Amino acid sequence: MKKATYIILIALLLLLFVADVALGSVYISFTELWDVFLGAPDATNAYIITQLRLPRAVMAVLTGAGLAIAGMLMQTLFRNPLAGPFVLGISSGAGLGVAISIMGGSLLGFSFVSGFGLIASSIAGSLAVFLLIILISLRIKDTMGLLIIGLMVGSLSSAVVGILQYFSPSEQLRRYVFWGLGSLGNLTWSEITLIGILVIISLAGLLLIIKPLNALLLGETYARSLGINITQTRWIIISITCILAGSITAFAGPIAFIGLAVPHIARLLMSSMDHKKLIPLVIIIGAALLLACDLVAQLPFSNYSLPINAVTSLVGAPLVIWLIVKKRTLRF
């Protein structure tokens, strides 16, 4: 992987960021955009740029990078190309929490859920699954067991969600469906700061486990023979993944596909499997891809926009297919 490729990718990331801020439903020219930061701006334009588009673009960067890293960690831990950030059941737990707060309202005696209520219940759901997974990981020796447990948690939660949906009026059903479609918008700067801190802490935690991650690729027995503490490594990987996936899902809903696809794209682009090189690439591509998806989802210059979850798959799936066909093999 040459340095030039990195520079091109970083330039692309910056370009996409600027484009995501500059383009939207309302046309704001570059001179007006300039005014917003360095001149005397129109109040509405300034609000649209600084309170609507800029937070959304920053959220796209954090979400793209965070989910891509979480996906990479899960693929490495399970040595499974199909693993993604939600494979442990984090999004199922969050979805169950949100479903109970939106649709269980009539049973529990409240009828309206605020945005903050949704975030709190999503965090509660993710946290419950996280604690369950940690407790189970203490008991079982086989890492693959966790994969099955994640699937079971997903199954359990979708059953409960199904029952709740069956008894819910259409208005509440709609809110839950909308939550599931994901959204990077409507976040305040303080919420963005909180997610930013969590993502940065998680990424810093990665520095502790770069060597063990590389060893894990060769198998747990081999890693153990290299003197790697498998239990401790597993703990750190699970914690980082849960913090990333849980906090992002709480604020943006279950954003699909990015976490699964980006690590593959990164591995296809570079020749080495070394996590020291893979991690920065995954972060850059994750952020750039989600920015690009958000740009498409905003349908610039039209009055409408698309749900982000639909766009990530629409853009991401053909990209992965194309890369695999071009390289003729999935590097894993």
Partner 1 sequence: MKRLVFLSFLCLSLIFGSCKTDNPAAPASAIVVTDTLEVKYATGFDIQKTENGYRLTINNPWPSSTDTLQLDLNRDATIGDVQIPVQKFIATSTTHIPPLVLLDEADKLIGFPDTDYISSSVMRERINAGHVEDLGANETVNLERTISLEPDLVMGYGIDADNPTYQSMMDAGIPVLYNGDWTEAHPLGRAEWIKVFGILFDKEKEAFEIFKQIETDYLAAKASVEELDKPTVIAGATWKDIWYLPYGNSWQGTLINDAGGDYIYKDTNGSGSLSYNIEKVLKDAQQADYWIAPSQYTSYNQMLADNSSYKLFEAFQNKVLYTFALRKGATGGVVYYEEASMRPDLVLKDLISIFHGQASTGKLYFFDPLEE
Residues that bind partner 1 (CB under 8 A): 24-26, 44, 47-48, 51-52, 56, 106, 111-112, 114-116, 166-171, 175, 178, 183, 185-186, 188, 298, 303-305
Q: What is the Cα 163 distance to its own chain's centre? A: 27
As measured in angstroms, the least distance from the Cβ of 316 to partner 1 is 21
As measured in angstroms, the least distance from the Cβ of 117 to partner 1 is 9
With contact defined as beta carbons under 8 Å apart, do 241 and 86 qualify? no
What are the tokens at 164?
Answer: 């709740």
User: N- to C-terminal Cα distance for the chain?
Assistant: 17
Q: Is the CB of 192 or the CB of 273 nearer to partner 1?
A: 192
As measured in angstroms, the least distance from the Cβ of 13 to partner 1 is 23
- C-alpha closest to that of 256 among 187, 311, 177: 311
DSSP string, 178-233: HHHT--S-S--HHHHHHHHHHHHHHHHHHGGGHHHHHHHTT-HHHHHHTT--HHHH
Q: Is the CB of 31 or the CB of 271 nearer to partner 1?
A: 31
As measured in angstroms, the least distance from the Cβ of 194 to partner 1 is 16
- C-alpha closest to that of 145 among 137, 153, 157: 137
As measured in angstroms, the least distance from the Cβ of 210 to partner 1 is 36
As measured in angstroms, the least distance from the Cβ of 254 to partner 1 is 14
Place of tokens 């999935």: 330
Between CA 131 and CA 195 the distance in angstroms is 20
Q: Is the CB of 25 or the CB of 239 nearer to partner 1?
A: 25
Q: Is the CB of 51 or the CB of 155 nearer to partner 1?
A: 51
Place of tokens 């699964």: 260
* Other Cβ atoms within 10 Å of 258 Cβ, number: 32
Q: Is the CB of 196 or the CB of 300 nearer to partner 1?
A: 300
Q: Is the CB of 188 or the CB of 225 nearer to partner 1?
A: 188
